[in-house]
Structure 1
Amino acid sequence: MNKKKVIFLADAFAHQHTGGAELHDAVVIDFFREQGILHEAVNTPAVSVEYINKNKDKIWFISNFVALKNVCKALLAKTCVYYIYEHDYKFSKVRNPIHFPDFLCPKSDLMNLNFYAAAEKVICLSKMHREIFDKNLNLDNIVNINCSMWSDKQLMLFEELQSPHKNGKFAVINTSNPTKRMPQTVEFCKKNNLPFDLISSQNYEEFIRMLANYTGLAFMTGHPEPTPRVAIEAKMLNCKFLAPKQLISVAHEDYFHLSGLEMVEEVRKMRDEALEKFMEWFYEA
């Protein structure tokens, strides 16, 4: 097996920000470390032309890259082997194709086209996520896995929280992120006479333990979610999930009918298959 070292780039990591992308990336980074192939994980603002030139022999695995300098993107595209691990839609200037019919962005909205085209693979997180990339970029290097990722320790937490005792209310995530549309979700619950609580925590385990008490999760998102972790987390906790299906990519996956321990096992299986696929791609590179 090719043991070429991997540099993992991201705008932020889980110890800096507990967002879905960062929690997902942490699982991948830990796997690369366990495999002995992680050179280092680097924040995108710290990447320079000099750093790239010193590490042209590495494989670059690039997560969120909003803060990556244009000159660095151009140099990577010209001289390096890299994979883009896409968590949203950075081919769009507004980063959200919901503004356009059929999620097809006008040419004037497109960006980062050369950076995507020069990647070994552009890895999307679900079939619907990939379809949106396909129709906007029309590249032959776009692939997809089928779900977000959780560590074994995190999956053990979901296995622990399988109690059927629910409080009869819906959880609404208390967030200022405009794409998560917390005010609209609150309005939806009120309009439909759904009892609800606002919940939040920067501590991941605490948040999951809170969510486990609820009958369901309401989530009126404001963009086409590539693979919203909270959708799968709710299903693993035997919670109902109320959301606009056309905006929830994983709701179109074959496994989405699963819940509880069956969903936990499916998530574990998909994670392991995806990580193995990454290793195969690195070997081919």
Structure 2
Amino acid sequence: MAGQTTLAQLNDLLNKAELQGVSIIRRIAEPDSFAASFDSFRKYIDEIDKFYVLVDLVEGQLPQFEHGRREKLAHNLVNLRWQVCIVEVNATRIFIVRIGEHGRSVPLGARDFLTRRRDRLGEISSYYDCFGEAHTLPKIETELIDTVRRLLDNTIGKSQSLPDLLAEAMQHSSEDPVPQPPLRLRSPSEVASPLQKRKPIEFKVKVVYGRYYAEGMSVQAVAEACAESKMTMDDLAQQLGVNRTQLGLMLNGADAMSKRIYEDLREFLRKA
């Protein structure tokens, strides 16, 4: 009975993956639903990333099926994932072109997210190299990939990440100190009252199929903790065993973090 339940759950995951994939693919025909703003585009990419997580989960469980069905399901999942990859590339092109046509700028802290979009182009090309011939996948034109990469490079060059902004602000603060008011004697009531400490920003995550995604103002929370601890984002990234770009993507919610990194970050913020 337990085996039947497991297979029933797996079939449910297969249905969810198919429904999510079809929904993502259909939305490419409605650019206003995902390319009207940076937030709407990022939400669309979040949906795509969650779809990939779901497909990874399902593919890892396929050995539970008998060989014939397993091969067919694996082929269908590869094709569905590839169609979403094509949508991902085209959606990125549409969004970047739109913000350029309307003279819009990306928000502060968008550079890490856009850099991740550029890195995805190489990952998508590698995926085709691995599975394209075996599964007769339609090839994405090299010209399209190159065009999207140039568009991203241009937009990334005009954007700035939040850690960089924090570092600049701290540098300017040290170079141009604010004049301090003259010292004065405090009254007994002032001396007796406890110092009010600023409440730190909460570090929030959501768990999707066992993977941890940062939410809310996680970048700012960690940046402030770094400032309190007199260390840089690079120092923290090295301490966690990742590079600064990876840390930025995780704090922006673009990449999942392991449970170990999540717990280490919570402990770091608690001590800061």
If the length of structure 2 is used for normalisation, what is the TM-score?
0.30
Instruction: Report which of the two has the higher share of strand.
Output: 1
If the length of structure 1 is used for normalisation, what is the TM-score?
0.29
